[in-house]
Amino acid sequence: MGAWPSLKNRIVEALQSADGDFVSGEALAERFGVSRAAVWKAVSQLKAEGFPIVSAHRRGYRLAEDFDPLVDADGGIGARTEALGQAVRYFPTVDSTQNAAKVWLAEGAPHGAVVLAEQQTAGRGRMGRTWLSPPGRGIWMSVILTDGLTLTDVHALSLLGGLAVAEALTRFGYDPALKWPNDVLLDGKKAAGVLIEGQGELDRLHHAIVGIGVNVKAHADDFPAELRKTATALAEHGAPPRRLLLVRAILEALEAELAVYRTDGFSRLRARWMARAAFLERTIAVRTAERNLSGRFVGLTERGMLVLRTDEGIVEVASGEVLLT
């Protein structure tokens, strides 16, 4: 499944492949060449971190019956795609799927490779913010793109990523809105976000990593107090789909959008993005690296730039953060 095979990771992988059956501590110890005490300690740490592991005297360990896996028993995703998600690394716990993707890139990851984690200990969002990633309660995923991109594509990838998540959620009965450039909202609160990291030179982009975080079953207590008024989870808006099914839907939507984008640019996708635009025709504030702006949000350009009608006239914004005034 994944690299960085810590004992905790290998134990979760073993329990997941057991398909709900108990696995004895002795069998795990023998399988991994460690003592039973080491297995017990690792399982205790996993439980403390929130992993739903059930212990039974003389029977061993298994994942709880309501455990909702991110990957199938073989460690794959099963997406109906040509490239995205056809190669997968799965981690029960990792510092960041973005970091794990960078390690895989250095080792020769193929285009479309996907990193998934049950938990991130140092997940991050845009502008250096922390992204809370409690175990088993969300989708924490990074998609590696290495095929024919340019530096000018990086901005559009945030929009495509958000649109892919929104379209996937729509398949399961949700009605998401899109907040420029990268947030997916349910009833005005953030349920998902996209982070783009890349590396290139001149006009060539060597790679881009599309980080996607979706709050599926997070509880209010999982969010710090300052985020509880602005963050939400799918479970607060109806019974959420199985996480694996949602991962598949996101990857299938993202691959389809990338195909359109490579052929026609963002212009053909703009109408679908605008149909879900949050705060359209409302007065918003936009914080950029150079200045703060205020105006009425009136649309997107064909390149995906935000269009504001301000007291000074029409202003196009390439990157920044949207705030309500």
Residue at 251: amino acid letter? L
pTM here is: 0.86
Cα–Cα distance, 214 to 211 (Å, whole number):
10
Residues 38-79: tens digit of each pLDDT:
999 999 988 887 788 999 998 999 988 878 888 887 788 999
User: Please, what are the domains in the chain?
Assistant: 7-63 (1.10.10.10), 88-274 (3.30.930.10), 283-324 (2.30.30.100)
Average pLDDT over residues 175-194: 95
CA separation for the pair 296, 287 (Å, rounded): 14
Reading phi first (left if > 0) and then psi (alpha if -120 to 50, else beta), residue 282 is in beta
Angle at 207 between CA 205 and CA 213, to 5 degrees: 125
- The vertex-218 CA angle with 217 and 223, nearest 5°, equals 170
Check whether 151 has a pLDDT greater than 80. no
Average pLDDT over residues 131-135: 65
